[in-house]
Amino acid sequence: MGDQFISHSPIPSVELDDSTQPGFTLSDVSSLKSASSGSEHSLDKVSTFGSNLNEVEKKLKHVGYLIDEMIETESTYIKALTDVIEGYIKRLRRDISSGFNDSIIKEVFVNIEDICLFHDKLHHQLIDCDSDHKLVAQLFIKNIEKLAKMYIKFCSAFPRSLEKLEELHGMDPYKSALAQCQLELGHMFAVEEYLHRAVQRFLKYPLLFKDMAKKLVSVDGHEIVKEALDKLLVTAVKINSVKRVQELQANELVGWKGGDLTSMGDLLLEDSFKVAGAKDPRILFLFKNCLLFTKKKEADNIYSFKHSLPMNNITLKEQVDNDFLKWSVLGKGSESYTMLSKDPEQKDRWTRELKRCIVYSTPGLTDIQKEALLMKLPSLKNDVEHINRIWKRATKKTRKAAKRSESVRILHNTECDSDNFSINSEISAAFDLDSPSVQNKNNSLPSSIELKDRSLDNGFDRRSALKKRPSEEVPIPEVDALSISPSIIVDPIPEIHSDSLSDTPLEVVNEGVTDEEDLVLTFKTELSKCTEPEDVEVVDSDIEIINSDEDFNESVEFKTGADPALGYFTNLLLNSKFYPATILGLIYIFACLVNFLPCYLTIPAIVLSTVFGYRSFPAQSLQSQKKLN
């Protein structure tokens, strides 16, 4: 069982050959040391700036503590691993009566022996670094791939190992053999606790490096520490996602018939979104080769599969209704899903990652071309940060309103800035991989202006559309057989940054709260000034979407906010033609309740009020609801 599991669990994207990762020897450290001896001088220079002296020294002292801690914990960790190896693995191998054979040992202890060997080496090298953070960082950068490979292997096999151990704990002779080992080692806790440490250990390095990087800001060596930290974080994410995919594959994803999930490439993102047209939130999984829509079953950790969009047939539309929380993806044919993110940052993270995936799955491009394409993607980081700032400043109550007013401003802005009218300012010319004729047609468009909605350009195969600012020309990679034309979608978000919003964003927010209606109205008139009549309809429909949020708030409730019975009585009292009779009935009921009148009088009272009440109820309540709305 164990062998089968280990050998059949594919570990995506980590296919390193041991031979390409030679062990790190002492000579490496010494060469590293000599290489960085130059920078030590620069450190001295920094220190001589008097006022900075204390500051820098203090920081370096702290970093020294961190490195000491790393070394110290490293040795405790190695001790724990050695205990497991000596006390369990070797002993069980020797003792044939224990029932442990190689395959069981491999299943339970995975590659703990390799890990221990590696850390033993690492420990010595850390000591040799002599508390120099640059050397420590270099050491980790050099070893990161080996670390990643080992820990991904261990962490992904670990749940199975725990299961196996639980099984063995209930079965002789394994049970007594394990207990004997524990006793001889003098361990308080069972072997599981010690195996846990391996899972824990790797995630401690990023913590230590994070602290180091924080302390070393504007101190020599910050960059290299940061680089090591980034590499460690990437590895941590990878370990987590490999585990996640395994969990999904094993039992959490129901109804998926697309085969091995691990063949979808790395799991890059996972988040919950409201999707237009779906009542419950959808959990989206972005794999390198596929976007998966699932619905979570609340009670247990199970996801039911809804749709999947392969990455080679997906179009991302970053701008929907000019709302910086919405984005949508289009699949082949009429498949289209619009997502509502919870904040601008989330949208940015997803669209950015999706763009990368799309580019990388475009067939026929070399890696260099892909990189070049990605480099040319507009960097909206500043704008996203800007929007985020506004977003954070706005309180929950004002957010909705703010969102709307921002949307209006965005629209407004693009409106006035561009000579050509385009409400969504999407200028599209899709990458077309199949039909050159379409591409030709596309190229003949005057200066790449194509009006708005993507749903209109049905003529194009919507493959791999990419976003571009209008000013930037996308290079057309020259690949035979393929005709690729740039897809350009103007994103008006940069406009916010450059113009109106950067001035007084908070004012906009406040404006939105109080005069939302006015803003929208102003916007309408602005538009009608500068648009041709036939476009007004479209404009109106857009405003409706901005204003109503109807896709996402499906339940319509009593506007009074009070409970229905109360509302009904209020309606009766205010609107009923028969209200004298109703009031009489109510007085009767009240009187009966407080025992003013004998009980038999309640019966006619109830009959009276019910008859009159029912007659007047439906019409009245509808009217009043309309008024309230």
Query: Binding residues for another protein, per CB under 8 A?
Result: 62, 65, 69, 72-73, 76-77, 155, 158-159, 162, 165-166, 169, 179, 188-190, 192-193, 196-197, 199-201, 203-204, 206-208, 211, 236-237, 239-241, 243-244, 247, 300-301, 563-565, 568-569, 589, 606, 609-610, 613, 617
Contact 139, 126 (CB under 8 A): yes
Cβ burial, residue 471 (10 Å; 0-12/13-18/19+) = exposed
Q: Which is nearer to another protein, 377 or 606 (CB)?
A: 606
CB of 176 to another protein, least distance (A): 11
H or E segment and range at residue 297? strand 290-297
Q: Return the number of the residue (545 or 589) whose C-beta is nearest another protein.
A: 589
CB nearer another protein, residue 348 or residue 426: 348
Please report how close the Cβ of residue 538 comes to another protein at its closest, in angstroms: 40
Residue 9: which region, alpha, beta or left (left: phi > 0; alpha: psi -120 to 50)?
A: beta
Q: Shortest Cβ distance from residue 166 to another protein (Å)?
A: 5
Q: Is 180 exposed, middle or buried (0-12, 13-18, 19+ CB in 10 A)?
A: middle
Q: Please give the structure tokens belonging to residue 571.
A: 């309606």
Backbone dihedral angles phi then psi of residue 316, each to the nearest 5 degrees? -100, 130
CB of residue 234 vs another protein: minimum separation in angstroms? 12
Q: How far is the CB of 353 from another protein (least distance, A)?
A: 16
- Residue closer to another protein (CB basis): 169 or 288: 169
> Closer to another protein at the Cβ: 26 or 607?
607
Q: How many Cβ atoms sit within 10 Å of the Cβ of residue 8? A: 7
Please say which residue, 39 or 240, places its beta carbon nearer to another protein: 240
- Angle, helices 396-417 vs 516-530, to 10°: value is 10
- Rounded to a whole number of angstroms, the minimum distance from the CB of residue 189 to another protein is 5
Shortest distance in whole angstroms from residue 207 CB to another protein = 4
**Shortest Cβ 477–another protein spacing (Å):** 36
Q: How far is the CB of 340 from another protein (least distance, A)?
A: 20
Of the two residues 199 and 538, which places its CB atom closer to another protein in the complex? 199
33/243 with CB nearer another protein: 243
Parallel, antiparallel or unpaired: strands 253-254 and 302-310: parallel
Torsion of CA 237, 241, 244, 249, to 10 degrees: -170
Rounded to whole angstroms, how far apart are CA atoms 291 and 177? 48
CB nearer to another protein: pick between 196 and 226: 196
Taking phi over 0 as left and psi of -120 to 50 as alpha, with beta for the rest, 481 belongs to left
Sheet holding 253-254, edge to edge: 253-254, 302-310, 290-297, 282-287, 267-275, 336-340, 326-330, 315-317
Smallest gap from Cβ 30 to another protein, in A, equals 28
Count how many residues are written for the chain. Answer: 629
**Before 470, cis peptide (omega within 30)?**
no
Which DSSP category does 255 fall into? Answer: S
Give the chain's largest Cα–Cα span.
106
Considering the complex, state which of residue 91 and residue 169 has its C-beta at the smaller distance from another protein: 169
Q: Are strands 282-287 and 267-275 parallel, antiparallel or unpaired?
A: antiparallel
